[in-house]
């Protein structure tokens, strides 16, 4: 069957496509940073609790912050999802339908994971060690499953040639397991989560050290900074291997774009390699601030590469230039006003939360 026959006609958009493409990358970067913090800190706190007897201050600190991070990650995920539906709706709606059962289950898993994370925070002091591990571990497991579901959907939407598999499995249980890029892509995101989670832990405890909030003892603060940077550096080094696997799994015609056949693709890729080397160096030398700046630039570069790869995958079927633009000034003006209002409110709430924590007296005991 010709895959072109399975691709729906795209809807018109209310403004130039390139504007939404830039917004997609910006929104996705904010979202993925929060997701990485969410998954990474959960994994690190869980493993540290299994390996170290003195990990309680770290676990408690992560337990306090996780509910807020999850809420922000979910809410900031709405914007990129809406924009990708606007630009690539004819692809993502089909892929979501093909794996409809898993896609809907992801929502339920997210609700259950958040419930466990919130309960883990509220009952942390009275839960036994075993129950703490259960609630945090089950939440982390569900988040990892959700990530695998998302990776399936994002790869399935890029490959209309695999859509005829629906006629063999029209029950909504279709997964994109035959795609060579699925597993390295998924691991690339999950290992990145551990790296960013480790860096976030190092940033938090560095802030505690600078503001004098060392109620857990100076040695504990320094230990958690080193622990966070250790996870960050190790995961970043692992990313080099997984990233190479991911790169080699790409179709040859797309891989060649980054190997010299396209100046833009190759330049972005080489710039990323330089940032990886720089980031690893800052991780090894435990330079928290420089590592944070470097990895932020690296993530921005990786998101641009992701955008270029998506464009190359869909190029035989569609380009954003193909979309019909029907200018709608009123709705777009409302969009910008609402966006500015929401971002202002989020910034205000985060400032209030931070100032409240600064003014609160250190916990006793």
List the single range of 86-95, 212-221, 301-310 with lowest mean pLDDT.
Answer: 212-221
Distance CA 113, CA 68 (A): 13
pLDDT band at 53 (very low <50, low <70, confident <90, very high): low
Are 132 and 59 a contacting pair, CB within 8 Å?
Answer: yes
pLDDT band at 1 (very low <50, low <70, confident <90, very high): low
Percent of the chain with pLDDT over 70: 96
Distance CA 132, CA 138 (A): 10
pLDDT of residue 55: 82
State pLDDT tens for residues 60-116.
999 999 999 999 999 899 999 999 999 999 999 999 999 999 999 999 999 999 999
pLDDT of residue 237: 96
pLDDT band at 365 (very low <50, low <70, confident <90, very high): very low
pLDDT of residue 358: 59
pLDDT at 292 over 90: yes
State pLDDT tens for residues 348-359.
888 887 776 655
Helix and strand tally (H, E) in the chain? 10, 0
pLDDT of residue 356: 63
State pLDDT tens for residues 127-167.
998 999 999 999 999 999 999 999 999 999 999 999 998 88
Kindly report the average pLDDT of the chain as a whole number.
Answer: 91
Q: Name the fold adopted by 9-322.
A: Formate dehydrogenase/DMSO reductase fold (1.20.1630)
Q: Which two tokens stand for residue 359?
A: 């003014």
pLDDT of residue 350: 80
pLDDT at 333 over 60: yes
Distance CA 13, CA 90 (A): 13
Q: Dmax of the chain from CA atoms? A: 69
For the entire predicted model, the pTM comes to 0.91
Q: What angle do CA 235, 236, 237 make, to 5 degrees?
A: 90
pLDDT of residue 6: 86
């Amino acid at each position: 069957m010709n895959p072109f026959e399975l691709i729906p006609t795209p809807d018109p958009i209310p403004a130039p496509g390139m504007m939404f493409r830039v917004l997609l990358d910006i929104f996705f970067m904010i979202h993925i940073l929060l997701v990485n913090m969410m998954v990474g800190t959960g994994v690190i706190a869980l493993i540290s609790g299994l390996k170290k007897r003195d990990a309680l201050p770290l676990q408690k600190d992560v337990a306090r912050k996780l509910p807020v991070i999850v809420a922000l990650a979910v809410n900031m995920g709405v914007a990129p999802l809406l924009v990708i539906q606007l630009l690539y709706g004819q692809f993502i709606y089909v892929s979501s339908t093909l794996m409809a059962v898993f896609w809907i289950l992801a929502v339920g898993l997210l609700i259950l994971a958040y419930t466990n994370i919130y309960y883990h925070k509220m009952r942390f002091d009275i839960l036994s060690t075993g129950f703490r591990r259960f609630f945090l571990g089950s939440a982390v497991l569900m988040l990892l499953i959700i990530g695998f579901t998302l990776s399936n959907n994002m790869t399935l939407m890029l490959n209309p040639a695999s859509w005829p598999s629906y006629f063999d499995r029209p029950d909504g249980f279709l997964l994109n397991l035959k795609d060579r890029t699925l597993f390295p892509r998924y691991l690339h995101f999950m290992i990145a989560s551990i790296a960013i989670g480790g860096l976030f832990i190092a940033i938090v405890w560095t802030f505690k050290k600078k503001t004098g909030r060392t109620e857990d003892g100076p040695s504990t603060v320094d230990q958690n900074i080193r622990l966070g940077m250790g996870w960050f550096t190790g995961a970043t080094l692992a990313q080099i291997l997984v990233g190479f696997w991911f790169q080699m799994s790409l179709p040859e015609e797309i891989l060649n774009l980054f190997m010299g056949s396209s100046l833009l693709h190759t330049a972005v890729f080489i710039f990323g390699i330089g940032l990886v080397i720089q980031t690893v160096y800052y991780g090894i030398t435990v330079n928290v601030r420089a590592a944070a700046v470097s990895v932020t630039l690296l993530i921005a570069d990786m998101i641009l590469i992701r955008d270029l790869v998506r464009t190359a995958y869909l190029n035989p079927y569609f380009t954003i230039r193909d979309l019909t633009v029907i200018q709608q000034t009123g709705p777009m003006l409302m969009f910008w006003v609402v966006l500015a209002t929401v971002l202002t409110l989020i910034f205000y709430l985060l400032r209030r939360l931070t100032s409240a924590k600064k003014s609160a007296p250190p916990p006793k005991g």
